[in-house]
Amino acid sequence: MVSVQASRSIPKATDAQKLELLSKVKCFIFDCDGVIWLGDKVIDGVPETLDMLRSMGKKCFFVTNNSTKSRAGYMSKFRSLGLNVSAEEIYSSSYAAAAYLESINFKKKVYVIGEVGIQEELDMKGIRHLGGPGDADKRVTLKSGEFMEHDPEVGAVVVGFDRNINYYKIQYATLCIRENPGCMFIATNRDAVTHLTDAQEWAGNGSMVGAIVGSTKREPTVVGKPSGFMLENISASLGLKPDQICMVGDRLDTDIMFGKNGGLTTSLVLSGVTTEEVLNHPDNKVIPDFVLPALPDLLTVKEKAMVAA
């Protein structure tokens, strides 16, 4: 017997619901691609929407799993698109790694697989580090009796996307994790693919992390999306309850799921990869609290919201 499931329709937020969202939520966490911009173009109305939220006293964070740049480095991307944000509003996975180590009062050295973004964030926290771009051209000869020294003071290996990944780095990280007692294994994220260029999808940090999992048989602590650390770090620093924070994203299975897992309020925008058809499909089990055609749809209640605020 074929079961025909009734079609459903999850409505877009009404003006009353938008006002409810703006009243309840004190902090917005934005996924960027598909929400703030599409490719290299800001979505129309986003700058005005961000201005409105800030003038209402809302905190804004822009989240990216890209670890190749620091928060400061990522600002140039925002500014080149005409978006005026501060470094403190950017929550890159490179920053998450440094913030995580700070949160546990880490005092040893870090071995870095990754690019300059991680190094810069560690420097900002005063955490000593080695590896990273400096090991890009190192080679292992594997001649008879070859022995690779490693620093016994390394207490954490941080693995982020690294276009110069090589066997030297893999072996160095493996030695630290296997041989230094208590050495941690931290991943900025495990994304399978990443959009390094608009032309195609590129193997992501899932590859660098997978290489170290494969030689250590250890699972990493992930600090970027979809881990809980970032949410705990934001809610603790602001003194907010989870549902006073809203995750805004264009992907059900990552952004919205991530928000729901953390007990956050969630808003799906239809300006990115998720269509209404996918949202309303009977197979979809991830239902956001609010649905907006695009982030700037909040501007329809701007006047009422500003009065209420």
Q: Which residues bind its own copies (CB under 8 A)?
A: 140, 142-148, 162-167, 170-171, 174-175, 178, 190, 192-193, 196-217
Binding residues: 31, 33, 225, 250
Shortest distance (Å) from residue 174 CB to its own copies: 4
User: Which residue lies nearer to its own copies by CB, 39 or 182?
Assistant: 39
> Active site residue: 31, 162, 289, 297, which one?
31
Q: Which two tokens stand for residue 186?
A: 């931290």
> Active site residue: 15, 33, 44, 137, which one?
33
Cβ(10)–Cβ(287) below 8 Å: yes
Shortest distance (Å) from residue 169 CB to its own copies: 10
CA angle 39, 258, 182 (to 5 degrees): 105
CA distance 293 to 309: 24
User: Which residue lies nearer to its own copies by CB, 176 or 264?
Assistant: 176
User: Which residue lies nearer to its own copies by CB, 156 or 234?
Assistant: 156
Comparing CA positions, the residue from 228, 266, 229, 271 lying closest to residue 244 is: 266
3-class secondary structure per residue, 253-273: HHHHHHHHHCCCEEEEECCCC
Half-sphere exposure of residue 201: CA atoms within 13 angstroms, side-chain side: 7
Does the annotation mark 31 as catalytic? Answer: yes
CA distance 87 to 100: 17
User: Which residue lies nearer to its own copies by CB, 105 or 144?
Assistant: 144
Does the annotation mark 33 as catalytic? Answer: yes
Whether a cis peptide bond, with omega within 30° of 0, leads into 293 is no
Shortest distance (Å) from residue 176 CB to its own copies: 11
Active site residues per annotation: 31, 33
